[in-house]
Amino acid sequence: MNSSWLLYVMPLLYVVAGVMHFIKPKIYMRIMPRYLPHHKLLVYASGIAEIGLGIALCIPSLKVMAVYGIIAMLFVFLLVHFYMLSGEKASAGVPKWILVLRIPLQFGLMYWAWWYL
């Protein structure tokens, strides 16, 4: 499956998601858990991480490192997903059923990355 077209979709997904952190940072800052410091810095840092890992997936010598990095990043992002379930303000207006579905989706994205090891 390593030559699958999905391996080209994954880098694009992460690069676009990372770029969105710079285009619409306020959206991401609204959903940052209150207990984390420096929200703006963390939003930009996570955007850089997504872009960098997406690009690294396209470089054969960096692909394995990128896969582990994506899995770790998605695991950390679970903090945001669970935080958004903690209350109405934290949910940023997203319906609860969507917030609940995002958790297994996150694990699905981890599995998708793992598949390419």
pLDDT at residue 71, as a whole number? 98
pLDDT at residue 87, as a whole number? 85
| All residues at 6 or more sequence positions from 49 whose CB lies less than 8 Å from its CB, including other chains | 18, 69, 73
| All residues at 6 or more sequence positions from 34 whose CB lies less than 8 Å from its CB, including other chains | 83
Calculate the average pLDDT of the chain.
92
Band (pLDDT 50/70/90 cuts) for residue 2 is low
> What are the tens digits of pLDDT across the range 40-52?
999 999 999 999 9
> What are the tens digits of pLDDT across the range 80-115?
999 999 988 888 888 999 999 999 999 999 999 999
pLDDT at residue 89, as a whole number? 83
- What is the rounded CA–CA span in Å between residue 78 and residue 103? 7
**What percent of the chain is predicted at pLDDT more than 90?**
79
Least-confidence region, from 4-8, 52-56, 73-77:
4-8
